[in-house]
Amino acid sequence: LATIPAELQATVNIVSRQTGIVSGLPVLPIVFEMLPGSVSWSLLLSDGDTVQRGTVLASITGPVRSLLTGERTVLNFMTHLSGIASRTAEFVERVRGTNAIILDTRKTLPGYRLLQKYAVRCGGGTNHRMGLFDGILIKDNHLAARGEANCAAAVAAARGFMASLDAKAKIEIEVDSLQQLRDALQEQPEIVLLDNMPVEMLREAVAIRNENGPKTLLEASGGVTLQTVRTIAETGVERISVGSLTHSSPALDLGFDWPW
């Protein structure tokens, strides 16, 4: 209000300053519909599209006061979500040709889970549980809280609980040793999470699963990086979960570029 005349109108472009995957374009109209004046926009790409440095993602026309008011809100959402999508796409590309898929986790910013998990999908990743309500994951802390490390008993208890509700949900249990894996496979959980296992142990785990519980999927997790994910995928696990996709992906650099 102090520096921009009320009558000043312009068109501004949202431009990528890096190569990556775009996510968050639907936020733009939601923001600008809330601001004064007649603001119009044109979305030139779709979420999930690849952008290069200099790619124009959208054009917005209207009162410059409103364009500037909405600038940072739109960019905050889009740079964050596009960063997640871009980092996810890198992980997905690294495991191409293997049987492994890349999953996110529940390690999300409070209030932002749906948006962050949407961005993971834009990057070609797969959503793990959206919350505690749509799958049973028996974590190491659950076993510790029970006061014993019997994995088969915990899986059996989970199955009994689901039966009592006449409900169905996949049961996954976290293990950190091959002995725990063998124990868990006695009850044939749908998924076993192999926590922080080195590559050689992951290979052994796949062999044990193939011999004792071929219907159970194996998920590697813990400290997975772009440098290690390919080697992990080549062990034969079907799932690789990466918490850093949602809690540590760097933002994709986007900006407002004026025509002058």
Is 71 part of the annotated catalytic residue set?
Answer: no
Place of tokens 């124990």: 183
Is 176 part of the annotated catalytic residue set?
Answer: no
The catalytically annotated residue of 17, 121, 139, 170 is 139
* Residues shown for the chain: 260
Residue 239: which H helix or E strand, with range?
A: strand 239-241
SS3 state of residue 86: helix
Is 204 part of the annotated catalytic residue set?
Answer: no
The catalytically annotated residue of 172, 183, 187, 195 is 195
Is 168 part of the annotated catalytic residue set?
Answer: no
The catalytically annotated residue of 72, 96, 146, 211 is 72
The catalytically annotated residue of 106, 107, 159, 230 is 107
| Cα-Cα end-to-end distance for the chain | 21
Is 139 part of the annotated catalytic residue set?
Answer: yes
CA geometry: angle at 215 spanning 218 and 89, to 5°?
A: 40
The catalytically annotated residue of 172, 174, 183, 187 is 174
Rg of the chain over all Cα atoms, to the nearest angstrom: 23
d(CA 134, CA 113): 14
d(CA 169, CA 43): 39
- Token representation of residue 54: 């200099």
d(CA 36, CA 44): 23
Pick left, alpha or beta for residue 48 (phi over 0 → left; psi -120 to 50 → alpha; otherwise beta): left
Q: Write the single-letter amino acid at 164.
A: S
3-class secondary structure per residue, 146-179: HCCCCHHHHHHHHHHHHHHCCCCCCEEEEECCHH
Of 65, 67, 54, the C-alpha closest to 17 is 54
What residues are annotated to the active site?
Answer: 72, 107, 139, 174, 195
